[in-house]
Amino acid sequence: MKEKAHVEDINRSLYDFRNVDTDVYKVESGLTEEIVRQISKEKNDPEWMLEHRLKSLEIFNNMKMSEWGPPIDGLHMDNIVTYIKPKDNKMSADWDEVPEEIKSTFEKLGIPQAERESLAGVGAQYDSELVYHNVREEVAAQGVIYTDLESAMHGERGDMIREHFMKLITPNDHKFAALHGAVWSGGSFVYVPPGVKVEIPLQSYFRLNAPGAGQFEHTLIIVDEGADLHFIEGCSAPKYNVANLHAGAVELYVGKNAKLRYSTIENWSKNMYNLNTKRATVEEGGKMEWVSGSFGSHVSYLYPMTILKGDSSKVEFTGITFAGNGQNLDTGMKVVHSGKNTSSSINTKSLSKDGGISTFRSAVVVGKDAKGAKSVVDCSSLMLDNISRSDTIPAMDIRCDEVDIGHEAKIGRISDEAVFYLMSRGIPEEEAKTMIVSGFADNVSKELPLEYAVEMNNLIRLEMVGSIG
Amino acid sequence: MARDIKINTLPAPTWTWLRVNDVNIKLAESFTAADISVENAAGVTVSENDADLESGIRAVETGMGSEMAAFVDGLGLKVKRIEAAEGTKAESFVSFKAGFTDGQASLYEVYAGKNSELKIFIDNYSTDESEGSGLSDIRFRLEEGSKVTLIQVFRQNSSFDFYDNIGADLGKRAELRIVHIVSGTRNLYLGATGDQKGDKSYFGIDTGYIRKASEKLDINYVARQRGKQTESSLKAGGVLRDTSYKCFRATIDFINGCTESKGDEREEVLLMDPDVVNKTIPLILCAEDDVEGTHGASIGRLDEDIIFYFKSRGMTEDQIMELMAASKLINVINLIDDENLRASVRESLEIEAD
């Protein structure tokens, strides 16, 4: 029997602090028309948005759950509070105006520091509402809009919001898209004008503090013709014994010859049900880049989708998923080749340890008219013990002959030869395995800005390093 | 009266909108026995019996699933029992010529005794040009150390639908190699599962196909790797022309305990016309860390350089496409380690020798 190093579970104390909510406004738990109307009133929705919410609620109530994917038996909507905010919440562009306890939360997470050092703008959401939103003057001077979605909806971009909101992700897509449509709150709107390159990233950070609560932020990004943007999304929550739910939505419009990179380090606590939906559409010559690290949540359903609508449009997807004890993470991607001469490149890695379940699920669809489509999918899975699980469920649906589609997958354990090689160079076994796993995740870390690559590598190291049994 | 049956179910379902999780078919309630002639091999016993309800062979998991298996069991037809006694090494193939017309079925039970070697060839063809459907069901029990090769040809007429269902129970060091050669039939459904309970067992399928006009091919191959040091290989290669359709599901299932096992899935598909539909779903399910699982798929049209090369040698584009299509079948025909049988198969498929 081959020996294995024993590794402890992750030390999440960095993220696992919590504030006791004493002065909050919240709706009752559960999901009723009255609650949806209450949320809409709280947000001062225009009439069309209230109608949208109610229609979404109707769809949610009538739609069945999917028959695939991890079980979500532990999620009971009757127990979820869909809207909660500090009583006198007012979004600010100045950290000093943010309530002390909330400000301290984001300081512990390093957000204000990151903003000062390396970001063009930041949005910080706490439970159901944004508490802070700011963009650098020089970026705003370029005509870049980065604001909370609700302000934008009521402002001069209101028509633009209405034109795009939940048109890519519709309430009919699946049950939790419908739920999102009914109770969404918070989230950001970004517009980058034609030809503008935003040199440093914008970031939104989502913190879910309240136990038994749901977060349903909506991110809408429009990158106009020839523009270029890197957007980073981060999230975390303290761990509770009750379920929390995240059913956010991200809609991305990449214009002609534009480029958008969307990076996410997902680090929800292990009581979280992360049922998130992300979708991008790319016009002629445009490029969409996804960089995705999934480390948290109890259960995840996460499949960023890209529609390559325009001729010569492209997508690159780089992702890593690490499923540990108590986690069932079902992640992957979908791409639809619709225009001519489109290309997609997907490179994903997954790790399972300590009873964790990781599933890679993908779909590459090539439409009838998508002549010249090229797609390469490469997924690798590493099993760190024999009590975990790793499944690969890719699908290709090709309806055009002038294509070039390749798919490769492999699954296995850490190579004994690689460990032996490093140990023969004086590196202890545990460190050798950590190095190998970090190297395995290199596809993602090298795509991230340095600070986020460091955070990701720290998360990996925390998962791997422990006592030798 | 027709019976609705769900077949070829994906072991782990995916998005419903892809329409690949399973297939719903309609079958007539009753079938009669197909016309089967046998050319036996020395050392092998072929007999016709009632289905064996005692040894457990009827309970073997099949590729088309439990609904189809139960349907077949309910037909009440006699079964061709093929037995190789312990230690028998059959030198030549047991050959079946299975002629079908509408509403006919052929059922087989294969018993390979300990350390036996057995080779089976089944030629499935139409006895007339009439429209219809037929089915074949083969259950295997391979004892320790046995080796079985199964070659099946499917060349029914272009108005005929056919369902071929296989289930195999593999003991320690048992090996089952299956070759499927698809050159005919309107809508062809293939399902095969190998339950590798025995350590060091091997389960491999090689499929070569040509689909043209509006023909359909729907496949579900599953390797359940339970024993230690098992190996599996699920491969398919073919050509789609005109408005044909193909769905290839292959599953390697590494079950906890199957340490040091390996599994590989491969597919190469040549798409030759703009209205074809290709679906490929290669699954790897893994509950064991000390394994190696790989899959690779390559889908597209013929490389322009290759077309240019053959054109420069005087071939028309049509001739090149025919040649490429034939090559996919030749690849699997050449896996038949019997020269006479290879020649016979090529002749029946009207493929010239190399």
The β-bridge relationship of strands B35-39 and B94-100 is: antiparallel
Give B344's DSSP letter. Answer: H
Name the minimum distance, in Å, from the CA of A129 to any CA of chain B.
33
Measured distance CA(B344)–CA(B338) in Å, rounded: 10
pLDDT of amino acid A469: 29
Contact B15 A396 (CB under 8 A): no
pLDDT of amino acid A3: 37
Largest CA distance in chain B: 63
CB proximity B286 to A under 8 Å: yes
HSE (side-chain half, CA atoms, 13 Å) at B185? 29
Kindly tell me if the per-residue pLDDT of A206 is higher than 90: no
Task: Give the chain A residue whose CA is nearest to the CA of B11.
Answer: A393
Measured distance CA(A84)–CA(A75) in Å, rounded: 18
User: Taking residues B259-286, what's their average pLDDT?
Assistant: 96
Cβ distance A368 to A338 under 8 Å? no
pLDDT of amino acid A22: 62
Cβ distance B115 to B309 under 8 Å? no
pLDDT of amino acid B162: 98
Nearest to B300 among A404, A408, A411 (CB): A404
Residue A433 structure tokens: 């395995």
Residue A135 structure tokens: 């963009």
The CA distances from residue A187 to A151, A234, A387, A469, in Å, are 10, 12, 38, 45
Residue B263 structure tokens: 């599994």
Cβ-Cβ pairs closer than 8 A, A with B, add up to 140
- Which residues in chain B have Cβ-Cβ distances shorter than 8 Å to A2? 290
Name the minimum distance, in Å, from the CA of B293 to any CA of chain A.
5
pLDDT of amino acid A205: 86
Give B109's DSSP letter. Answer: E
pLDDT digits (tens, 9 = 90+) for B37-78: 999 888 999 999 999 988 899 999 999 999 999 999 999 999
Name the minimum distance, in Å, from the CA of B39 to any CA of chain A.
42
- Which residues in chain A have Cβ-Cβ distances shorter than 8 Å to B282? 394, 407, 409
The complex scores an ipTM of 0.95
Secondary structure in 3-state letters for chain A? CCCCCCCCCCCCCCCCCCCCCCCEEECCECCCHHHHHHHHHHCCCCHHHHHHHHHHHHHHHHCCCCCCCCCCCCCCHHHCECCEEECCCCCECCHHHCCHHHHHHHHHCCHHHHHHHHCCEEEEEECCEEEEEEECHHHHHCCCEEEEHHHHHHCCCHHHHHHHCCCCCCCCCCHHHHHHHHHCCCCEEEEECCCCECCCCEEEEEECCCCCEEECCEEEEEECCCCEEEEEEEEECCCCCCCEEECCEEEEEECCCCEEEEEEEEECCCCEEEECEEEEEECCCCEEEEEEEECCCCEEEECCEEEECCCCCEEEEEEEEEECCCCEEEEEEEEEECCCCCEEEEEEEEEECCCCEEEEEEEEEECCCCCCEEEEEEEEEEECCCCCEEEEEEEEEECCCCEEEEEEEEEEECCHHHHHHHHHCCCCHHHHHHHHHHHHCHHHHCCCCHHHHHHHHHHHHHHHCCCCC
Name the minimum distance, in Å, from the CA of A270 to any CA of chain B.
22
Name the minimum distance, in Å, from the CA of A104 to any CA of chain B.
42
CB proximity B291 to A under 8 Å: yes
Task: Give the chain A residue whose CA is nearest to the CA of B283.
Answer: A393
Residue A147 structure tokens: 């604001």
Rg (CA), chain B: 20
Q: How confident is the model at residue A21 (pLDDT cuts 50, 70, 90)?
A: low
Burial of A318 (0-12, 13-18, 19+ CB in 10 A): buried
pLDDT of amino acid A315: 98
User: Taking residues A396-409, what's their average pLDDT?
Assistant: 96
Nearest to A411 among B281, B284, B297 (CB): B284
pLDDT digits (tens, 9 = 90+) for B182-205: 998 999 999 999 999 999 999 999
Contact B291 A412 (CB under 8 A): yes
Contact A398 B277 (CB under 8 A): yes
Interface residues from chain A to B (CB-CB < 8 Å): 2, 66-68, 361, 363, 368, 381, 383-386, 388-413
Q: How confident is the model at residue A13 (pLDDT cuts 50, 70, 90)?
A: low
* Extended beta strands in B157-260, E state: 160-170, 175-182, 187-196, 202-211, 216-225, 231-240, 245-254
Tokens 């312990």, residue located: B86
> Cα–chain-centroid distance for residue A282?
19
pLDDT of amino acid B66: 97
Q: How confident is the model at residue B353 (pLDDT cuts 50, 70, 90)?
A: low
